Structure 1
Amino acid sequence: MKSTYLKITLLSIGSLTIMAGATIAPSLPQIQQVFAWESHSELLTKLSLTVPALFIAIFAPLAGILIDRFGRLNLLFFSLLLYGISGTAGFFSPDLYTLLLSRSVLGIAVAGVMTTSITLIADYFKGAERNAFMGLQGAFVAIGGIVFILSGGLLAEISWRAPFLIYLCAFLLIPAALIFLFEPEREKLQPISHSREALIAGKSQISLIYLTTFLGMMLFFIIPVQIPFYIKEQTGATNALTGLAIASSTLSSAIISLNYKRFRKHFSFSQIYAFCFFFLGLGYLVIFMAYSFNMIVLGLLIGGLGMGLLMPNSNIWAVSVSPEHTRGRIVGGLTTAVFLGQFISPVITQPIQTFFASNTMYAFAGFTLLLMSGGFLIHHHRNRSTTYQKN
Structure 2
Amino acid sequence: MTGHSEPRVGTETSAAAGTSATEASGCPGVLVTLLLASTLGVMAGSVISPVVEVIRGDFGVSGTAAGLVVTAHALAVAVTSPLIGRAIDHCGVRIPLAAGLVLYGISGGAGLFTTSYPALIASRLVFGIGAAAVFTGTTVALLQLFTGPRRDRVMGWRSAANSVGGLVWPLLGGTLGGLSWHAPFAIYLVGLPLGVAAVLALPHTAPHRAARTRGGVLALVRQSPAVLGFYALQAAASIFLYTMVVFLPQRLADLGIREPLMVSLYLVVMTGAISSLVGLVYAPLRARLSYAALLRTAALAWAGAFTVLGTVDHPVLLLAGPALLGLGQGLSLPSLTVLVNESAPPALRGQATSLAGTVIFGGQFLSPLLLGPLIGATSSTVGFLTAAVMAGLIALTLTTVRMASSTSPGGSASASDN
TM-score band w.r.t. shorter chain: over 0.9
Instruction: Name the aligned partner's letter for residue 301 of structure 1.
Output: A
TM-score (norm 2): 0.87
CA distance in 1, matches of 2:370, 2:118: 21
CA distance in 2, matches of 1:250, 1:123: 26
TM-fit CA distance, 1:226? 0.6
Quickly say closer, same or farther: Cα 1:333–1:187, change in 2 above 3 A: closer
Matches for 1:350-389 after TM superposition, within 5 Å: 350-379=372-401, 382-383=402-403, 388=408
Match of 1:156 in 2: 177
Which of the numbers 11, 14, 26 marks the counterpart of 2:50? 26
TM-fit CA distance, 1:388? 4.2
TM-fit CA distance, 1:183? 2.0
Matches for 1:1-391 after TM superposition, within 5 Å: 2-36=26-60, 40-186=61-207, 203-247=224-268, 248-379=270-401, 382-383=402-403, 388=408, 390=411
TM-fit CA distance, 1:111? 0.7
Check conservation: 1:218, 1:342, Cα contact below 8 A. Answer: yes
TM-fit CA distance, 1:293? 1.4
Quickly say closer, same or farther: Cα 1:201–1:375, change in 2 above 3 A: farther
Q: Please list the CA deviations of residues 99-128 of structure 1 after superposition, one character each: whole Å capped at 9, or x if unmatched.
A: 000000010111111111111111101111
CA distance in 2, matches of 1:57, 1:136: 25
CA distance in 1, matches of 2:98, 2:278: 31
TM-fit CA distance, 1:68? 0.5
Check conservation: 1:213, 1:338, Cα contact below 8 A. Answer: yes
Instruction: Name the aligned partner's letter for residue 17 of structure 1.
Output: G
Kindly report the root-mean-square deviation, in angstroms, between the aligned alpha carbons of the 2 structures.
Answer: 2.1
Check conservation: 2:91, 2:207, Cα contact below 8 A. Answer: no
Q: Which moved more, 1:73-82 or 1:144-153?
A: 73-82
TM-fit CA distance, 1:189? 6.9
Q: Please list the CA deviations of residues 337-383 of structure 1 after superposition, one character each: whole Å capped at 9, or x if unmatched.
A: 1000110000011111011233111111112212211211221xx45
Instruction: Name the aligned partner's letter for residue 136 of structure 1.
Output: W
Quickly say closer, same or farther: Cα 1:288–1:269, change in 2 above 3 A: same
Check conservation: 2:303, 2:389, Cα contact below 8 A. Answer: yes
CA distance in 1, matches of 2:154, 2:306: 29
Please give the secondary structure, in 2, of the residue aligned with 1:221.
helix
Q: Please list the CA deviations of residues 130-158 of structure 1 after superposition, one character each: whole Å capped at 9, or x if unmatched.
A: 11111100100100110011101111111
TM-score (norm 1): 0.92
Instruction: Name the aligned partner's letter for residue 338 of structure 1.
Output: I
Check conservation: 2:164, 2:272, Cα contact below 8 A. Answer: yes
CA distance in 1, matches of 2:362, 2:221: 25
TM-fit CA distance, 1:168? 1.1
Check conservation: 2:375, 2:382, Cα contact below 8 A. Answer: yes
Q: Please list the CA deviations of residues 244-277 of structure 1 after superposition, one character each: whole Å capped at 9, or x if unmatched.
A: 1111211111111222222221222222111111
Check conservation: 2:156, 2:282, Cα contact below 8 A. Answer: yes
Quickly say closer, same or farther: Cα 1:314–1:109, change in 2 above 3 A: same
Instruction: Name the aligned partner's letter for residue 307 of structure 1.
Output: Q
Instruction: Name the aligned partner's letter for residue 57 of structure 1.
Output: A
Quickly say closer, same or farther: Cα 1:158–1:57, change in 2 above 3 A: same
Q: Please list the CA deviations of residues 286-318 of structure 1 after superposition, one character each: whole Å capped at 9, or x if unmatched.
A: 111111211221211122111111211111111
Whose helix proportion is higher, 1 or 2? 1
CA distance in 2, matches of 1:130, 1:145: 22
Check conservation: 2:98, 2:196, Cα contact below 8 A. Answer: no
TM-fit CA distance, 1:199? 7.8
TM-fit CA distance, 1:188? 7.3
Quickly say closer, same or farther: Cα 1:232–1:3, change in 2 above 3 A: same
Check conservation: 1:235, 1:292, Cα contact below 8 A. Answer: no
Q: How many residue pairs are counted as aligned between the two chains?
A: 381
Instruction: Name the aligned partner's letter for residue 42 of structure 1.
Output: G
Please give the secondary structure, in 2, of the residue aligned with 1:184.
coil
CA distance in 2, matches of 1:271, 1:183: 37
Please give the secondary structure, in 2, of the residue aligned with 1:293.
coil
Match of 1:195 in 2: none
TM-fit CA distance, 1:321? 2.1
Q: Which moved more, 1:322-331 or 1:258-267?
A: 258-267
Q: Any stretches of 5+ residues in structure 2 without a counterpart?
A: 1-24, 214-218, 413-418
